[in-house]
Structure 1
Amino acid sequence: MRIIILGNYMPRRCGIATFTTNLANSILAANCKETNNEVLVVAMNDCNQEYEYPEIVKHTIRQQEPKDYTIAAHFINDSNPDICIFQHEFGIFGGESGVFILSLLKQLKIPIVTTLHTILQTPNYHEKHILKKIGCLSQKLVVMSNLAIDFLTTIYEIPLQKIAFIHHGVPDFSEIENTGTEFNYPEKKVLGTFGFLGRSKGIETVINALPEVIDKHPDVIYIVLGQTHPNVKKHSNEEYRDYLKNLAKTNNVADNVIFEDGFFKEEDIKAFLIESDIYITPYLNEAQITSGTICYAIGAGACIVSTPFWHAKELLADDRGNTFAFNNSDDLAKTLCNLLDNPDKIANIKDAAFNYGKKMYWNKIGLQYIKMLDEISNTPLITLDEKLLSLPKFNMDHIKRLTDDMGILEHANYSVPDYKEGYCLDDNARALLLVLMAYELDVDKSSIGLADVYLKYIKLMQMEDGFFHNDMSYEKKFLDEKGSEDSFGRTIWAMGYLIRLAPNDSHFQFAKDIFFKSYHHFEKITSIRAIANIIIGLCHFLKRYPDNESIIHLMNLLTYKLLHQYKDESDSEWKWFEPILCYDNAIIPLALWHAYDLIKDKEIYTVAIESTNFLDKETYRNNRITLIGNTWYYKGEKRPAQGQQPINAMAMIMMYNKAFEITKEKEYHQKMLIAFSWFMGNNDLFIPLYDDESKGCCDGLEAHCVNRNQGAESTISYLLSYLTVWSSQQKVIKASQNSLAKNSLFTT
């Protein structure tokens, strides 16, 4: 079997690198006549560091270079491996919480086994969804504690059958003799701690306990073995070590504390653990699901005294060690004195630890991995993410959170309404459209009560000449002399829809008043996106009044403005209405599809098809959409992708849906569903923008992370997209003779 291992690798100095190196060696050491496994390593480099790797390392990735992850994915696939073992720790990959790694994993064409070194009980948004996505992409997730299994199944919703428990490996301590080493301290009782130094290690707890211990046992020394963690040293140099040394002096135990500064070889660590009478892990926080150092101590048969962090509680059960309270030097002192007063207790604990630790030797761990890999390689590869193939329950909670008695607030800090930024017409017009659609489709009839709030805001923003203000402060002051043409167009769309499908006569008459007071501005509008919005509004109007000659004339006039714009700007390669792709792009071909639905003009159809397919070509990538970002895409220049926004996704979904309605081409229906999956995590970062906790939608997809603010535009865009997909699915289901009813991508 050809195995790729992805993770940190020695000589990089960190626990993951040590683990990965030992895992690779253990798999190779297990080769025999029946098995001949080959191991290749793809190693992570940090902070522009490069290392002199051994021959087994065939490729490297720079942590913060997004393109390196795609290059590495191609390298792995081209190496023809059978399986990939992936070492996951949040801090070793680039992007927010290491999100870049998802693009690599998503491109692999082989089974993935992920070893999880950290599983958080209270993850942030990115951490939670990254681990959930890793769970979807992996055939197996290896954990090193039973609590980790509980976390994965309950917090991250990962099926139990995907999880395998395999201990953290340790060296074989069965044949080591404890003589002739540099850690041999005759006539001394040796207390020890090893590992990288950092504030979370809590070594000050031990130093503060030593005065009481040494008073009763003056032959005690405490050895702190290890260098300061490279990341800590980069920012704080030796501040923590110096603090500990000064603390030892203050406590008058400096002669009893020995700092062995360095990165020690495995043989040195083994000798150190054998020579220690008591090994101490005084960590300050319980939230450590895996600890390599305490595993080593168990394997060595050490008498361990530890704070009760998660992994320690499991490993030290059944009298394999003692625990003391976090940051409690008095409790530690009593525990140490009790053990030192009773050598038999120390001996019994050592025996229990040693016997348990035998099952953790790397030679046995390597065999467990090989057995698991063999089973996976004989199982069909399943990469389907079920979460992307279903619609969550429709929920208006965040819309209601953002709405007060004036209207819907424009912005939010995370999911908390930002009153300081006030309101805008764009969002209130879209919010009105949302509640009307939810009512009409019978998805949420109760939300129609919000329509009066949004109508009140729209009425307030309409000026005497029929145009609109856009922005208003929370103090109810207009923030502009005149609103944008785009906000005007979006309001006319909402009024047209309300005229067509008003839930009552009062709303119908209200919409007509707003609509016709603005009517004389329609022909003067120059923004092509505003024109597109107006066309859609006029089409809705004509669904109720199909014989209104003046509206028909106006719709024709505005539609042909778009066609003339297209003729002026498009060419054989750039089939678009302007020399730029920017925001809300798909709204323009969407308007043409609406217009064609009524006019049936072949020229409109041709431009609608060409512009739809052009935008599709520029957006559709690898079975997902990559939206034009807010840095925009100029004709003839390099296409940027950062700053992707939900409003663009909504327009794409509506465009594909209308193209499907008109052409009956199944491909457009599938593209609509795939475009909706952008919200659910099928995007360039593979992180969902829909927040199932707040029921809001994040504001955008940046190069390194999701923008976690959840303003009105984003959540409305998500919910309007939802209703578009839901409505389309209902039509497909009802058309039982259509094969799409059986093969549809989404379930409802």
Structure 2
Amino acid sequence: MKIAFVGTYPPRECGIGTFTQNLVQSIAGNTLPDQAEHELMVLAMNDHHIVYNYPKEVKLIIEQEEQTDYLKAADFINISGADLCILEHEFGIFGGLNGVYILPLLYRVQVPVVVTLHTILENPSYNERAILKEICKMAAKLVVMSQKAVQFLQSIYEVPEHKIAVIEHGVPDLHFDRMHSKRNFKLEAHKVLLTFGFMGRNKGLEIVIKALPEIIRRHPEVLYIVIGKTHPNVLRHSGEEYRNYLQLLIKSLKLSKHVVFLNEFIEETELFKYLAACDIYMTPYVNEAQITSGTLSYALGAGCVVVSTPFWHAAELLAEGRGVLFDFNNTEMLSDTLNHLLDTPQECEDIQERAMAYGRNLIWTEIGKQYAALCQSILEQPEMLITPKETTLDPLMLPPFSLTHIKRLTDDTGIIQHAKFGIPNLKEGYCLDDNARALLMALMTYKRNKDEQALELMPIYLSYIHYMQHKDGTFRNFLSFNRSFLDEVGSEDSFGRTIWALGYLLGNSPNDAYYQTGRLLFFDAAPNFEHLKSIRSVANTIIGICYYLSKNPSDDEMTERLRNLTKKLTLKYDEHHTEDWQWFENLLAYDNAILPLSLLHASQHLNDLYVTKVAFITMDFLTGHTMKEGYLSVIGNKDWFVKDGVRSIFAQQPIDALAMVLMYHQAFICTHDKTFLNLLFSSFMWFLGENDLRMSLYDFETKGCCDGFENYGVNRNQGAESSLAYLMSHLTVLQAHEEFMMFGR
């Protein structure tokens, strides 16, 4: 087998790095006589651009916060000839918010992936749960190290049992004579308590220190040795605050001769000499929430007497007399336990024997065999192999349609434009853009579902539009929460979006009162159509006119206005397009698909083959730049995509995905070509996780939609624009499916 490993790796000082190296070596040593040697390579996670002198098996370095490195890593694995990939997962070693950058790598890798989960949270945050669920979906197998982890994956992350394998944490097969080791460290005169690993407040070292005075009264020869540096993440945020606290505690309890800190990351051989020299190994962690402990596994594998709090891994590993447990934060119980063990050497020997017997199952040669067998079994199952991903229109994959969040954002003035997470941000007030979108969404909802809630919302948004219109037909845009105007004339974009909504109202009005109000607003604005300069405002206005003409096709004056506006767009195309740049301007910016969408609409009302030609050429050009990987990757708004430049990945926004959904729907209406339905559904699935970050923007709890992707991950705010974009996309998918069932099959 040829296997690619992704994780931290020595000489980076990291417990997972040591685990990865041991796993690589143990699989390499588990080749059967009739098998070719395994070919193993490592893709090492780097932190903060630190330069490490990696060994030869490291073939590629991934900088933690460089998202493009993850994409390059996926490409490297795909062309390397690897049969399988093993990923070591811990939230803190991958970039982006909660390690979200690992998701695009997993999605792009074209070989089965085995994921070893070093941390599984019982109470994850929204992002942590979403990320781990995506990882679980994409993995061929998930390796965990305890039965508690299996329970969590099934009950919290909804992982089917058949995807989970339990393989315990491996330990080196290193053993040293106890007395020789004590002499080596000049500890012959001491009863040694030992803890090793990165230091942090969750390790509970102060519990042991506070218990020492009572122990020393009976056993003055006791020495507590703590080996390990402060955890790098703790060091960056809090410095040596915890270590300093412990030093002051030691001084105040007059324990300076009984506690030794070795502030270093020691290599394994030296570590096992210390484990041989200790009399009792301590893991006094402060709470139960640790699903795996490599340090505990090492101590058990070395045959130590272990005294531990009953955190999850310890409760399993030390069962059946393989160690001794004491209650969290209970110094009195700890001192009694340690005094008893120090007084009864025979009991300690019995515990050591049980620990040593169990530890033989944990040596890396045995663990390597289990991993190698798991990998081989995956490769022997055709259903485990990666097949090309094809998205097809499937309404059953959609969450239930809900106006809950829109109602939350709407008051008697209009829809609040922004939100803090799922809560309306009243400080930001209202805008015309969002109230026009909200009217359009409500109309679409009522047309499809005859939803009375949507009907009740319409007059709120329509009255906002009316309130913001000047006598000359132009509109203000922004209104404060106390209903004060914040601008005199709004943007052309907000004008165009309003005309779109009003035109849709005139073509799909639920009653005459709304129709008559919309007609007044629409025709008061109409004299301004010819003055528009922004091509997106022109495009939005074209769409609004087309919806109006769908019910009023004999309005020759409006048809002429449509022709003039359409000419503005095609002239922009004529001015800017080249053989390799088939577009209306020298960059792809925001809301791009609105431009070809508007021409697709116009082509149904104008007998102009050139308009149709430009619509499809520009649609194909945009598709080529946003659908390369088989899913939608809209142009990011951070830097956009200037011709001959590099396209922006961040910040991707929901209105761009909506525009793509609408564009492909209109293309399907024009052609009845099912290809456009698949592209439509792929575009919609951007909201549900088929995107560059492999993260869902739809919030199943609030029923809102997150505001987009930033370089750190998902922007969890759920404003009106993003939530309306999701709902309109959702409705379009449902409509497209019905149309396909009627005449597209």
TM normalised by structure 1 equals 0.94
Match of 1:316 in 2: 318
Q: Does 1:637 align with 2:608?
A: no
Task: After TM superposition, list the pairs within 5 Å mapping 1:421-500 onto structure 2.
Answer: 421-442=428-449, 444-500=451-507
Task: After TM superposition, list the pairs within 5 Å mapping 1:272-287 onto structure 2.
Answer: 272-287=274-289
Q: 1:515-540: per-residue Cα shift (whole Å, max 9, x none)?
A: 22223222332222222222211221
CA 1:161–1:247 in structure 2 vs 1: closer, same or farther (change >3 Å)?
Answer: same
Q: CA deviation at 1:402?
A: 1.0
In structure 2, what is the Cα distance between the partners aligned to 1:480 and 1:589?
31
In structure 2, what is the Cα distance between the partners aligned to 1:293 and 1:522?
71
Q: CA deviation at 1:425?
A: 0.8
CA 1:32–1:283 in structure 2 vs 1: closer, same or farther (change >3 Å)?
Answer: same
Q: CA deviation at 1:233?
A: 4.4
Match of 1:604 in 2: 611
Tell me, what secondary structure is at the counterpart of 1:113?
A: strand
Q: 1:244-298: per-residue Cα shift (whole Å, max 9, x none)?
A: 2332121012111122333223233223223322211112232211110111122
Tell me, what secondary structure is at the counterpart of 1:537?
A: helix
Return 339-348 or 357-366, whichever deviates more: 339-348
Return 69-78 or 414-423, whichever deviates more: 69-78
Q: CA deviation at 1:229?
A: 3.3
Match of 1:662 in 2: 670
Task: After TM superposition, list the pairs within 5 Å mapping 1:228-307 onto structure 2.
Answer: 228-233=230-235, 238-307=240-309
Q: CA deviation at 1:481?
A: 0.8
Q: CA deviation at 1:375?
A: 0.3
Return 250-259 or 344-353, whichever deviates more: 344-353
- Could you tell me which amino acid in structure 2 is paired with residue 708 of structure 1? R
Return 146-155 or 162-171, whichever deviates more: 146-155
Contact 2:222 2:258 in 1 (8 A): yes
Q: 1:279-322: per-residue Cα shift (whole Å, max 9, x none)?
A: 11112232211110111122223222222222122222333333
Q: CA deviation at 1:18?
A: 0.9
Match of 1:710 in 2: 718
In structure 2, what is the Cα distance between the partners aligned to 1:459 and 1:339?
82
- Could you tell me which amino acid in structure 1 is paired with residue 10 of structure 2? M
1:508 to 515, 518, 538: 515
In structure 2, what is the Cα distance between the partners aligned to 1:607 and 1:271?
75
CA 1:532–1:74 in structure 2 vs 1: closer, same or farther (change >3 Å)?
Answer: closer
Match of 2:91 in 1: 90
In structure 2, what is the Cα distance between the partners aligned to 1:509 and 1:430?
19
Contact 2:84 2:111 in 1 (8 A): yes
Match of 1:682 in 2: 690
- Could you tell me which amino acid in structure 2 is paired with residue 511 of structure 1? G
CA RMSD of aligned residues (A): 2.2
Q: Does 1:581 align with 2:615?
A: no
- Could you tell me which amino acid in structure 1 is paired with residue 630 of structure 2? N
Match of 1:48 in 2: 49
Contact 1:136 1:385 in 2 (8 A): no
Match of 1:532 in 2: 539
CA 1:236–1:445 in structure 2 vs 1: closer, same or farther (change >3 Å)?
Answer: closer
Q: CA deviation at 1:418?
A: 0.5
Contact 1:136 1:383 in 2 (8 A): no
Match of 2:162 in 1: 161
Contact 1:582 1:632 in 2 (8 A): yes
Contact 1:438 1:445 in 2 (8 A): no
Match of 1:518 in 2: 525
Q: CA deviation at 1:647?
A: 0.6
Q: CA deviation at 1:238?
A: 4.5
Return 364-373 or 343-352, whichever deviates more: 343-352
- Could you tell me which amino acid in structure 2 is paired with residue 513 of structure 1? L
Task: After TM superposition, list the pairs within 5 Å mapping 1:127-276 onto structure 2.
Answer: 127-172=128-173, 176-181=176-181, 182-183=184-185, 185-233=187-235, 238-276=240-278
In structure 2, what is the Cα distance between the partners aligned to 1:661 and 1:158?
40
Q: CA deviation at 1:236?
A: 5.3
Q: 1:630-667: per-residue Cα shift (whole Å, max 9, x none)?
A: 22233343322221111111111111110121022332
Match of 1:22 in 2: 22
In structure 1, what is the Cα distance between the partners aligned to 2:599 and 2:239?
63
- Could you tell me which amino acid in structure 2 is paired with residue 18 of structure 1? T
- Could you tell me which amino acid in structure 2 is paired with residue 453 of structure 1? I
- Could you tell me which amino acid in structure 2 is paired with residue 546 of structure 1? P
- Could you tell me which amino acid in structure 2 is paired with residue 244 of structure 1? L
- Could you tell me which amino acid in structure 1 is paired with residue 45 of structure 2? M
- Could you tell me which amino acid in structure 1 is paired with residue 428 of structure 2? E
CA 1:618–1:163 in structure 2 vs 1: closer, same or farther (change >3 Å)?
Answer: same
Return 605-614 or 349-358, whichever deviates more: 349-358
2:564 to 545, 557, 561: 557
Q: 1:489-516: per-residue Cα shift (whole Å, max 9, x none)?
A: 2112111212222222222222222222
Q: CA deviation at 1:243?
A: 3.2
Return 570-579 or 491-500, whichever deviates more: 570-579
Contact 2:389 2:630 in 1 (8 A): no
In structure 1, what is the Cα distance between the partners aligned to 2:426 and 2:236?
41
Contact 1:83 1:373 in 2 (8 A): yes
CA 1:571–1:371 in structure 2 vs 1: closer, same or farther (change >3 Å)?
Answer: closer
- Could you tell me which amino acid in structure 2 is paired with residue 419 of structure 1? L
Match of 1:743 in 2: none
Return 183-192 or 433-442, whichever deviates more: 183-192
- Could you tell me which amino acid in structure 2 is paired with residue 650 of structure 1? L
Return 691-700 or 467-476, whichever deviates more: 691-700
- Could you tell me which amino acid in structure 1 is paired with residue 587 of structure 2? I
Match of 2:353 in 1: 351
- Could you tell me which amino acid in structure 2 is paired with residue 459 of structure 1? H
Return 21-30 or 346-355, whichever deviates more: 346-355
In structure 2, what is the Cα distance between the partners aligned to 1:346 and 1:443?
75
Runs of 5+ consecutive residues of structure 1 not aligned to the other structure? 740-748
Report the number of matched residues.
Answer: 736
In structure 2, what is the Cα distance between the partners aligned to 1:673 and 1:171?
50
In structure 1, what is the Cα distance between the partners aligned to 2:409 and 2:387?
37
Q: 1:115-147: per-residue Cα shift (whole Å, max 9, x none)?
A: 111112233343323222222221111011112
In structure 2, what is the Cα distance between the partners aligned to 1:127 and 1:399?
26
Tell me, what secondary structure is at the counterpart of 2:158?
A: coil
> How many percent of aligned residue pairs carry the same amino acid?
49
Q: Does 1:698 align with 2:700?
A: no
In structure 1, what is the Cα distance between the partners aligned to 2:14 and 2:450?
53
In structure 2, what is the Cα distance between the partners aligned to 1:422 and 1:606?
42
Contact 2:437 2:501 in 1 (8 A): yes
- Could you tell me which amino acid in structure 1 is paired with residue 41 of structure 2? L
Contact 1:644 1:700 in 2 (8 A): yes
Tell me, what secondary structure is at the counterpart of 2:413?
A: coil
In structure 2, what is the Cα distance between the partners aligned to 1:116 and 1:451?
49
Match of 2:341 in 1: 339
Q: 1:606-638: per-residue Cα shift (whole Å, max 9, x none)?
A: 121122122222322211222222222333433
TM normalised by structure 2 equals 0.94
Return 338-347 or 656-665, whichever deviates more: 338-347
Q: Does 1:622 align with 2:605?
A: no
Contact 1:184 1:275 in 2 (8 A): no
